[in-house]
Amino acid sequence: MSAATLTPAPQASTERPLAHRSFVRDTRIVLLRELRPVARDPFSLLFGLIQPLVFLGLFGPLLVGSAGATLGADVWLWFVPAVLAMTTLFGSSVTGSNLQLDISSGVHERMLVTPLSRPAQLVGRALKEMVPVLAQSAVVLLVMLPFGLRPNPLGAVLTLLQLAVLGIGVGALSYSLALAVRKQEWMFWVVQQTVLFPVMLLSGMLLPLETGPAWMRAISTVNPLRYVVDSGRAAFAGDLASSAVAWGWVAAVVTAAVGLTVGVRAMIRSAD
């Protein structure tokens, strides 16, 4: 045991090599575990579609009536990308409640006592958000085709991918919130609801911000969702090379990066 002379490890004789740990493998384990219930019961994703479909069915016609003149003929190209962003926002912002369940049940503690990488426990969960976002967005697109929605195909695909990245970020932030308020669980919903609606309205999702007051437009410049919504509208219209699309990607990636950073830090400190 020549190594023992270099490092005075306690009980060098029992020092067996640890099973090789890789962050990617750990993330995959967490991701697949999170996906399993979704794969077994894909119809559970339909519940997340109720709200966006209500907006499409009950708000869309109002929009056609009141803003059809200013928005031009294709109101759907304007409104459907916004509904997709809304689906992402609503679905991914509540995902932290799944972690809350795992915290109160003991599952989270079980994971923390294993050698599973703590950052992987957050990243794997956040990556899973891509699946419901993509599946739900695809359903919304298919539902709207018979109503005359004709987006640029490549633009639609790129928008879905952008939303998937945004979903990772929003999901990670939702998990961060769940971890931050784990000692007062009810706070999760207070904060989530308080943040949700301002973020939605200040993204120009429902009505154009251009007609709003200057202060609203000023605040909306720091709302990443606004850029993603604008990007989706440009991409659906076929304007793929526009700066709006580029800014949409910047906003989605920054949201994901911030969410994962905050989330990983919260996860590492989540044991006590």
Taking the least distance from each CB to another protein, the nearer of 35 and 240 is: 35
Shortest gap between Cβ of 171 and another protein (angstroms)? Answer: 17
Nearest distance in Å: CB 238, another protein: 41
What 3-state DSSP class applies to 157? helix
Q: Output 100 or 159, the one with its CB closest to another protein.
A: 100
Specify whether the CB–CB gap between 182 and 105 falls below 8 A: no
Q: Are 266 and 183 in contact (CB under 8 A)?
A: no
CB of 29 to another protein, least distance (A): 5
* Least Cβ distance, residue 34 to another protein (angstroms): 9
162 Cβ contact list (under 8 Å, min separation 6): 228, 231, 232, 235, 248, 249, 252
Residue number with CB closer to another protein (108 or 233): 108
Biggest CA-to-CA distance, the chain: 83
Give the nearer residue to another protein in terms of CB position, either 182 or 226: 182
- Asked whether the beta carbons of 63 and 75 are under 8 A apart, the reply is yes
Q: What residue ranges bind another protein (CB under 8 A)?
A: 10-11, 14, 18-21, 26, 29, 32-33, 36-37, 40-41, 101-102, 104-107, 109-116, 182-183, 271-272
- Shortest distance, CB of residue 223 to another protein, whole angstroms? 32
Structure tokens at 150: 């004709």
Smallest gap from residue 52 Cβ to another protein (A): 23
Q: What is the DSSP letter of 151?
A: -
Residue type present at position 68: G
Rounded Cα distance, 225 and 171, in Å:
14
Judged by CB, which is closer to another protein: 113, or 214?
113
User: Which amino acid does the sequence have at 17?
Assistant: P
Q: Which is nearer to another protein, 21 or 150 (CB)?
A: 21
